[in-house]
Structure 1
């Protein structure tokens, strides 16, 4: 991280590479989670989508934050089936639109971009807290990120707090009864299983923290 505390585009690119690596490495685990309450395709979908997205980034070498996240978002929408592509694609598209034509991102701007991404997920999937979806990991992560930045924490400290909050939200989905998506068809039987979307969303914030920490 530079001493200015801004987050350079290269760190954001590194984040996406790390997220790609994480979902590829954890593909079988994500699929196992999804096999219990979904279509057993979340791991494969995320690995395929992020692999394609990073390849597109490497081919096009975006020069600004909006170009970077638009590239990722559009690639996910076009290559991933099920709910994952539209939801994560919308998430990244909203981030890019919010950050705009910049190469160095202020931490508060990144937080705003991530918040806009969550709002995009809500608009598309109608998820709320407690529905047993990726919302249950992302929302607490953003609350923790905002609180840490408001307290004057560094970007590394703030993103680490976000990752920890995402993991706690992910773990809390185990006891929830799903109210959205394929898992909701199981009713009470969905309890006792971790939501796969919240698991991949936690990887998203853990890799962000790792990239920011350098």
Structure 2
């Protein structure tokens, strides 16, 4: 492909930054011959022509123009009136049905949807809510056996009773992390864990204090 395209987020206009990777591309098809241009408008230079029935990946839309990734030929912008979803294309004699797109951005990244006709596009599926930060300790490997969980900021300088020297796996969620030490009072050998550990190697059944971060 010959043209790389990135849209910028503007405070003055509802322009959503989208990845140009295939993860957010939507398959489309040209309903008729249409010019491919370097930007979203007829004032931009022509760099090629889509032929009727040509399959493309629709990467981004601004107003009535969409940026397409072509299997053959130069990538660029085309009028959305000449595009339809590849799975629901009408006959080529119907080039004026609008090609509608919807985008929302959440903690998990952008969600992308599209539809046809004058009705607004369907609402994108919202991304899952981010996990609550927490750290959980387990008495057995693979996150099994007895357990307890703490939040960032919690600490214990002396693991008392049956929990002292009896932790065998640790899970961390939501960006939390934890520093564990082999001696009470955060002494001895210590390690900071930032991803869940199904087994603790040399720290198995040797932890006597911790600080959740």
TM-score bracket, normalised by the shorter chain, equals: under 0.3
Higher relative contact order, structure no. (Cα contacts within 8 Å, ≥ 6 residues apart) = 1
Whose helix fraction is larger, Structure 1's or Structure 2's? 1
Q: TM-score, normalised by structure 1?
A: 0.22
Q: TM-score, normalised by structure 2?
A: 0.22
* Higher gyration radius (CA): 2
